[in-house]
């Protein structure tokens, strides 16, 4: 019993007996972070190219509509990236076992959820304007 209590103080059974599993989960969380960054970069690249094409090739209202469609696409990429970052943060927090990390996660999730909510509202408004 005393050995179990000591292990819990040093990071729990997961960190004490299954250190390899902690390492695997840390690598998976890092992979998810990288995937989220790549997803955001792809979205940003597509947005830049799409807006540039709209500015060069189109005139008037068609240009604005095309730009708004590109904004909707970028928003989708941002929302997907935020969701992946939340998954990664949950894994990191579950592995750290620190109360401060839990509070930090709570703050991150609240901020990202608020951002997602307002971004989703803006995307819905753009879709209505475009008649989609």
Report residue 106 as tokens. Answer: 């709570």
Instruction: Please state the pTM of the whole predicted model.
Output: 0.77
* pLDDT, tens digit, 9 for 90 and up, residues 60-119: 678 888 888 999 999 999 999 999 998 998 888 888 877 888 888 889 888 988 988 899
Which residues have a Cβ under 8 Å from the Cβ of 116 and sit 6 or more positions away? Answer: 79, 82, 83
- DSSP H helices, 1-132, are 2-9, 12-17, 19-57, 60-96, 99-130
């Amino acid at each position: 019993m005393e050995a179990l209590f000591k292990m819990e103080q040093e990071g729990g059974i997961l960190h004490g007996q299954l250190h390899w599993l902690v390492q695997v989960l840390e690598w998976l969380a890092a992979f998810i972070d990288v995937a989220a960054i790549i997803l955001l970069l792809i979205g940003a690249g597509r947005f830049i190219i799409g807006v540039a094409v709209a500015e060069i090739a189109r005139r008037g209202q068609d240009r604005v509509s095309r730009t708004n469609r590109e904004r909707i696409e970028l928003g989708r990429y941002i929302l997907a990236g935020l969701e992946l970052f939340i998954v990664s943060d949950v894994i990191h927090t579950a592995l750290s076992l620190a109360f401060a990390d839990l509070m930090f996660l709570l703050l991150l999730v609240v901020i990202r959820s608020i951002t997602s909510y307002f971004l989703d509202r803006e995307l819905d408004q753009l879709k209505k304007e475009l008649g989609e």
